[in-house]
C-alpha cells in the first residue's frame, strides 16, 4: 500500500521557554527547556516553523539514547570535598586512554567508537567484534518482547558493523529482583514480579538467539531488590569479519535501500522512551514503545547481507535500531545529504503519519548504501533469501536531509546546524563512606553451614536451567562451553569460540559487581575490569590481545549523589584499562533506571558491566574450570586480602558493611602474564577464577566435575596479613586464580612465578569424594561434593 503525506507545521518561533518545554512534554520529545530554546534559535535562523517530522527527528537525534549526552556532559564533581571538573566522561576516561593504547599496539584495534561495534585483529586476515546493548525499559514493561528485540537489535548491530560482520556468539546479562520476593513487598501495582520478568526475559532471548542460530555462550544474572522496579537486560553479540570489509564510507550518488521487515506502529518513540524514568503509569502508557520481534525475518536479512558482502555489493550498511529510519538513514546521510521517499516504505498497516513512518522502530530492518549498477544483483539476492527490498532514496552532495512523502517535502534539515546538541551541565558528589576494615566475624564453628548457605545463594547457584534453554552449540564452534567438565554441568569462567578457516579463536568474559559499587564504586571499576581480564587469560587468551567493553546503567543522573558514584567508577575503569593495556573498543550507557512511587525515587545501584574479547592463539590450548586428575596439586596464585566487604558471605551472614578489597593492577597483570606462559606450555590442568563466594566456592565448583575428592590446608594460603579461616575461605579479593597442576610440573611453575604469590594449598584424591578443608590440624569443612553440588545445582530450578 502506498501512503500519503500526513504532517503539520508547529509554530515555535514565538513561544516562551516555558511554552517550549510544555510542547516538548506534550509531544513526548524528552527534550529539556535548554534544548528546545536551542531548537527555536535554529528555526529563527532558518526563518520558518518546523514540521512535526523535523521535531521528532531532532528529538531522536539529541536523545540520551542516541547521543550519550550525560557521558559527554561537563560535570562539576566533588570528591570528599575536593572540587574537580570533568569535561566529558567518555572522552576523558574512555576514548582518550583507549586511543593511547591503540597507538601503543599498532594493528590490534582495527576500528573503534564510530561503527556499530569495535573490531580487533584475530589472525591478520580476520577480525572479531563484540557489542553489548541494554534493553531495560522495554523488558520492564513487556519482558518477553523486550528481551527478544534486545537480542535481535544487538545481532543487527553486528550485521551492520563494517560491511556486515557474521554474528558468531551471543551473551546475555540480567539484573533482577530476588526470585523469592513476596508479592506484597512490591510497592507499585503494575510492576511485574521478578519471576515473571526472569521467565519472560530468558524466553525472549532464547527464542531470538536459537531461531537466528547464534549460540548464546556467556552471561550472568545478578539479583538485588532494587532491580525489581528496573530490571536490567544486557544483550551482547560477537562477530567475525575479514579485514577488507571493515571500513565503509558514505559517498554521494549511492542508492539507499532497505531490506527486511515492514514498517508499522510498533516501537514508536523507543529512543526517547528509554531516555526517561519509569513510573507507575509507564506500564499502561508506554506499551507502544515496545517492538515485536520476528527472528526469521532477521535471519533472512542476515543471509542477504552476508552474501551481498561476499559479492562486494555493499558500500555502507547500518541497522534500524532506536529511532528507526531517522537514526539509520538520517545518520548515513548526515554528512553527504540526500533524498528519501517515505511512500516507498512497505507498511504493516495503514494509517501511519509521516513522522511515524520515519521514526518507527519496527524490527528486522537494515539500511544499505549501494551502487546503482548493483541493484539488479541485490534484487536477485533478496528473492533468493525471500526478504523484501526497496529503494528508499539516494545520497547526494547537498549536506541536506530531504524527506519527501508522496511529492511533498515533510522534512528538510541542514545537518551542519544540528550536529551538536547543547552540552549538559551536571553536578556530582562522592563522599567516601566510613567503613570498618573488617566486620565482626562469626567464628569458625559454622564454616560447613556457611559454605552451604553461600552455595545456595542466588548469586552463586547454578544457572543451568537458563543455560540449557539457549542453544549454545549451534554453528559448532563453541570449544569451551558455559557448562563443561567431566559431567558436562560444571561452571566455567568464559566461553572460547573457534573461528571458521582460522587456527585462532576468541574468548568472551565478563564481570559485574554491583555489591561492590554500593561501598566503593572506584574499586568496583578496578575489580570488574580485573575479573574480566583474569577470566579471558585464564581460559587461554593472550593478555596482550584483549579488547574491553564498558556498559553502564544507573538511576537518575540529575541526582548528584548518584552521578558521583558513576564518576568514581569511570575513573576506576580508565586506570584499569591503562594498567592492563586493554583498550575499550565499544560501550553503551543507560540512564534513568529509577522508579517513582509515592513521591520517592528507587534508584538501581550504579551497575557496571565489563565484558571483553581475548584472542586465543591456539584453540587446542584452552583451559576449563573443572578438576580432571587424581593426585594433582592445587595452588592459588595471587594474594588474599583481609577484607570481606561486598562479598556474598558478608551479605548471607548479615555482617555489617565493611571495606572491599583493593585491586593492585600492576601486580595482578604480572601474575596473569606468568599464568599465560605456563598455560600456553600446557602446564595447567584446570583453573578457576576466585570471585563471588571466595575460595570456598571456587574449590567446590572445581570439584563439581565429580572426578576426584579434594584436600586443602588453608594455612598455606598467601595473604597480605594473617587471616581468620572465614576470611581465607570467603574473601573476594581480586587477582586470584585457583589452579590444578600435575605434581611433576610444580618446579616449572615455581620458576615462572618466582617472586610472585603462589601458594600450594592442597591436592586431589581418589580415596574419597569429599571437599575437605583444614587449617593445619584443625578440620574446618568436610562435606560430600555430591551433596554440595545438589544444593548448588537445583536451587534456581525451583523458581525458574
Partner 1 sequence: MMTKTQQAKALILKFPGTNCDVESVEALEIVGFEVQLVPIALAKPEQLQGVDLVMLAGGFSYGDYVMAGRLAQLEISNRLGQALHEHHAQGGYLLGVCNGFQILMQLGLLPAGSLTENTSERFICKWSHLHVSAKNSPYTQGLGDTVEFPVAHAEGRFVAMDAALAEQYDEQGLVVFKYAENFNGSHAAIAGLQDETGRVMGLMPHPERFIKTKQHYDPDWADEHSEAAHGYTFFESIYNAITATKA
Q: Which residues of 591-604 are buried (b: 16+ CB within 10 A; e: fewer)?
A: bbbbbbbeeeebbb
Dist CA 518 CA 660 (whole Å)? 10
> For partner 1, which is the closer residue by CB, 386 or 779?
386
Q: Is 135 a catalytic residue?
A: yes
The CB-of-535 to partner 1 minimum distance in angstroms stands at: 17
Vertex 153: Cα angle to 150 and 154 (nearest 5): 90
Cell of 675: 599464568
Q: What is the Cα–Cα distance from 379 to 390, expressed in whole angstroms?
A: 9
Instruction: Give a three-class secondary structure readout of 35-71.
Output: HHHHHHHHHHHHCCCCEHHHHHHHHHHCCHHHHCCCC
Alpha-carbon Rg of the chain, whole angstroms? 27
> Which alpha helices (DSSP H) does 120-229 contain, by range?
136-141, 143-159, 194-212
Q: Which residues pair with 405 in a beta bridge?
A: 408
User: Least CB distance from residue 623 to partner 1, whole Å?
Assistant: 8
Residue holding cell 539476492? Answer: 381
Beta carbons of 732 and 693 less than 8 angstroms apart: yes
Of the pair 297, 530, the CB lying nearest partner 1 is at 297
Nine cell digits for residue 508: 568472551
CA distance 183 to 204: 23
In the bound complex, what is the minimum distance in angstroms from residue 465's beta carbon to partner 1?
A: 8
Residue for grid cell 567431566: 486
Residue 578 in contact with residue 531, Cβ under 8 Å?
Answer: no
Q: How far is the CB of 262 from partner 1 (least distance, A)?
A: 16
Least distance CB 788 / partner 1 (angstroms): 20
Please, which residue, 147 or 322, has the CB nearer to partner 1? 147
Strand partners, 370: 255
- Closest approach of partner 1 to the CB of residue 303, in Å: 8
Asked if 602 and 226 touch (Cβ cutoff 8 Å), the reply is yes
Cα separation, 231 vs 233, in Å, equals 7
DSSP state of 276: S
The nearer residue to partner 1, 210 or 581, going by C-beta atoms, is 210
* Contact between residue 313 and residue 246 where contact means Cβ atoms under 8 Å apart: no
Q: 28 or 468, CB closer to partner 1?
A: 468
Residue number, 387 or 734, with CB nearest to partner 1: 387
Smallest distance, Å, CB 498 to partner 1? Answer: 8
- Dihedral Cα 218, 224, 228, 234, nearest 10 deg: -20
Q: Determine the distance from the C-alpha atom of residue 279 to the mean position of all C-alpha atoms in its chain, rounded to a whole number.
A: 25
Q: Considering the candidates 135, 243, 405, 472, report the single residue annotated as catalytic.
A: 135
**C-beta closer to partner 1: residue 302 or 613:** 302
- Give yes or no for a contact between 489 and 572, defined as CB atoms under 8 angstroms apart: no
Residue that is written with C-alpha cell 499502561 in the block: 284
Min separation Cβ 629 and partner 1, Å: 8
Closer residue to partner 1 in complex, CB, 124/682 = 682
User: In the bound complex, what is the minimum distance in angstroms from residue 478's beta carbon to partner 1?
Assistant: 8
Surface-to-core class of residue 82, CB atoms within 10 Å of its CB (0-12 exposed, 13-18 middle, 19+ buried): exposed
552, 606 contact by CB (below 8 A)? yes
392: left (phi over 0), alpha (psi -120 to 50) or beta: alpha
| Minimum CB distance to partner 1, residue 285 (Å) | 30
Binding positions for partner 1, rule: CB under 8 A: 206, 210-213, 294-296, 299-300, 303, 383-386, 467-479, 481, 483-486, 488, 498, 500, 619-620, 622, 624, 628, 686
Cell representation of residue 548? 574491553
Minimum CB separation of residue 590 from partner 1 in Å reads 28
Tell me how far, at minimum, the Cβ of 542 lies from partner 1, in Å: 19
Question: What is the grid cell recorded at 721?
Answer: 596479613
- One-letter-per-residue 3-state SS of 485-520: CCCCCEECCCEEEECCCCCCEEEEEEEECHHHHHHC
CA pair distance 123, 316, nearest whole angstrom: 24
Is 283 among the residues known to form the active site?
Answer: no
Overall size of the chain counted in residues: 800
Q: Which is nearer to partner 1, 298 or 315 (CB)?
A: 298
* DSSP output for 515-536: HHHHH-HHHHHHHHHHHHHHHH
In the bound state with partner 1, the residue whose beta carbon lies nearer, of 565 and 793, is 793
* Listed residue (238, 240, 175) closest to 201, CA to CA: 175
Spatial separation of the C-alpha atoms in residues 54 and 52, rounded to whole Å:
5
Chain centre distance of CA 793: 26
Alpha carbon distance 187, 126 (integer Å): 51
Strands 408-414 and 388-395: unpaired
Q: Where are the alpha helices (DSSP H) in 333-458?
A: 354-359, 375-384, 415-418, 447-455
| Nearest residue (CB) to partner 1, 230 versus 623 | 623
**Strand order from edge to edge, sheet including 82-87:** 82-87, 74-79, 425-430
Of 207 and 315, the one with the shorter C-beta distance to partner 1 is: 207
Give the nearer residue to partner 1 in terms of CB position, either 41 or 766. 766
Q: Quote the least distance from Cβ 45 to partner 1, whole Å.
A: 50
Q: Which residues are part of the catalytic machinery?
A: 65, 135
Amino acid at each position: 500500500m502506498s501512503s500519503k503525506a500526513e504532517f503539520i507545521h508547529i509554530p515555535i518561533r514565538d513561544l516562551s521557554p516555558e511554552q517550549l518545554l510544555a510542547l516538548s512534554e506534550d509531544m513526548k520529545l524528552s527534550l529539556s527547556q535548554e534544548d528546545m530554546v536551542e531548537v527555536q534559535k535554529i528555526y529563527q535562523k532558518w526563518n520558518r516553523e518546523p514540521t512535526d517530522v523535523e521535531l521528532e527527528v531532532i528529538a531522536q537525534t539529541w536523545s540520551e539514547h542516541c547521543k550519550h549526552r550525560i557521558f559527554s556532559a561537563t560535570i562539576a564533581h566533588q570528591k570528599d570535598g575536593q572540587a574537580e571538573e570533568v569535561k566529558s566522561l567518555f572522552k576523558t576516561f574512555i576514548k582518550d586512554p583507549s586511543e593511547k593504547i591503540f597507538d601503543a599496539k599498532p594493528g590490534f584495534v582495527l576500528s573503534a567508537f564510530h561503527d556499530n561495534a569495535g573490531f580487533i585483529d584475530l589472525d591478520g586476515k580476520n577480525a572479531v567484534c563484540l557489542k553489548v546493548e541494554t534493553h531495560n525499559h522495554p523488558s520492564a514493561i513487556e519482558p518477553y518482547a523486550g528481551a527478544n528485540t534486545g537480542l535481535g537489535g544487538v545481532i543487527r548491530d553486528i550485521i551492520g558493523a563494517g560491511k556486515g560482520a557474521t554474528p558468531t556468539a551471543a551473551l546475555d546479562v540480567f539484573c533482577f529482583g530476588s526470585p523469592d520476593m513476596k508479592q506484597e513487598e512490591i510497592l507499585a501495582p503494575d510492576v511485574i514480579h521478578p519471576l515473571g520478568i526472569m521467565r519472560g526475559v530468558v524466553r525472549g532471548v532464547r527464542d531470538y538467539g536459537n531461531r537466528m542460530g547464534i549460540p548464546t555462550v556467556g552471561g550472568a544474572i545478578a539479583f538485588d531488590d532494587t532491580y525489581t522496579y528496573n530490571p536490567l537486560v544486557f544483550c551482547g553479540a560477537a562477530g567475525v569479519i575479514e579485514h577488507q570489509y571493515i571500513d565503509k564510507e558514505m559517498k554521494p550518488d549511492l542508492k539507499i535501500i532497505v531490506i527486511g521487515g515492514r514498517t508499522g506502529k510498533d516501537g514508536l518513540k523507543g529512543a526517547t522512551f528509554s531516555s526517561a524514568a519509569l513510573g507507575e503509569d509507564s506500564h499502561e502508557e508506554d506499551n507502544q514503545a515496545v517492538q515485536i520481534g520476528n527472528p526469521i525475518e532477521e535471519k533472512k536479512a542476515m543471509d542477504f547481507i552476508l552474501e551481498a558482502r561476499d559479492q562486494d555489493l555493499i558500500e555502507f550498511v547500518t541497522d534500524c535500531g532506536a529511532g528507526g529510519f531517522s537514526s539509520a538513514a538520517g545518520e548515513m546521510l548526515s554528512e553527504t545529504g540526500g533524498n528519501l521517499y517515505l511512500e516507498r516504505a512497505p507498511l504493516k498497516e495503514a494509517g501511519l503519519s509521516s513522522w511515524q513512518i520515519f521514526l518507527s522502530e519496527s524490527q528486522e530492518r537494515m539500511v544499505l548504501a549501494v551502487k546503482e549498477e548493483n541493484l539488479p544483483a541485490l534484487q536477485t539476492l533478496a528473492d533468493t533469501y525471500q526478504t523484501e527490498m526497496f529503494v528508499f532514496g539516494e545520497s547526494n552532495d547537498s549536506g541536506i536531509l530531504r524527506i519527501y512523502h508522496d511529492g511533498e517535502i515533510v522534512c528538510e534539515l541542514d545537518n551542519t546546524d544540528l550536529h551538536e546538541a547543547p552540552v549538559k551541565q551536571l553536578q556530582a558528589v562522592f563522599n567516601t563512606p566510613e567503613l570498618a576494615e573488617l566486620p565482626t566475624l562469626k567464628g569458625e564453628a559454622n564454616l560447613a553451614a556457611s559454605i552451604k548457605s553461600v552455595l545456595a545463594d542466588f548469586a552463586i547457584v547454578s544457572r543451568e536451567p537458563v543455560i540449557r534453554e539457549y542453544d549454545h552449540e549451534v554453528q559448532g564452534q563453541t570449544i569451551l562451553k558455559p557448562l563443561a567438565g567431566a559431567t558436562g554441568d560444571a561452571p566455567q569462567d568464559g566461553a572460547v569460540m573457534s573461528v571458521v578457516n582460522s587456527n585462532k579463536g576468541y574468548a568472551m568474559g565478563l564481570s559485574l559487581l554491583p555489591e561492590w559499587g554500593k561501598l566503593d564504586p572506584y574499586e568496583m571499576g578496578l575489580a570488574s575490569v580485573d575479573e574480566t581480564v583474569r577470566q579471558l587469560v585464564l581460559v587461554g587468551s593472550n593478555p596482550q590481545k584483549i579488547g574491553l567493553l564498558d556498559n553502564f546503567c544507573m538511576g537518575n543522573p540529575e541526582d548528584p549523589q548518584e552521578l558521583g558514584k558513576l564518576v568514581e567508577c569511570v575513573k576506576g575503569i580508565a586506570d584499569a584499562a591503562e594498567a592492563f593495556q586493554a583498550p575499550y573498543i565499544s560501550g553503551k550507557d543507560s540512564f534513568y533506571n529509577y522508579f517513582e512511587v509515592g513521591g520517592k525515587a528507587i534508584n538501581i545501584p550504579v551497575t557496571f558491566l565489563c565484558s571483553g574479547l581475548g584472542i586465543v592463539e591456539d584453540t587446542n590450548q584452552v583451559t576449563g574450570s573443572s578438576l580432571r586428575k587424581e593426585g594433582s596439586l592445587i595452588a592459588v596464585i595471587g594474594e588474599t586480602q583481609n577484607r570481606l566487604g561486598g562479598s556474598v558471605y558478608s551479605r548471607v551472614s548479615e555482617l555489617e558493611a565493611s571495606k572491599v578489597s583493593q585491586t593492585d593492577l600492576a601486580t595482578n597483570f604480572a601474575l596473569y602474564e606468568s599464568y599465560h606462559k605456563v598455560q600456553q606450555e600446557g602446564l595447567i590442568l584446570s583453573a578457576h577464577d576466585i570471585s563471588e563466594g571466595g575460595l570456598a566456592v571456587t574449590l567446590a565448583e572445581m570439584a563439581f566435575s565429580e572426578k576426584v575428592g579434594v584436600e586443602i590446608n588453608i594455612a598455606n594460603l598467601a595473604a597480605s596479613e594473617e587471616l581468620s579461616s572465614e576470611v581465607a575461605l570467603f574473601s573476594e579479593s581480586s587477582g586470584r586464580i585457583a589452579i590444578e597442576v600435575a605434581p611433576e610440573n610444580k618446579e616449572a611453575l615455581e620458576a615462572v612465578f618466582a617472586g610472585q604469590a603462589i601458594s600450594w594449598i592442597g591436592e586431589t584424591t581418589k580415596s574419597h569424594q569429599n571437599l575437605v578443608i583444614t587449617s593445619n590440624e584443625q578440620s574446618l569443612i568436610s562435606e560430600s561434593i555430591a551433596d554440595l553440588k545438589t544444593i548448588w545445582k537445583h536451587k534456581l530450578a525451583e523458581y525458574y
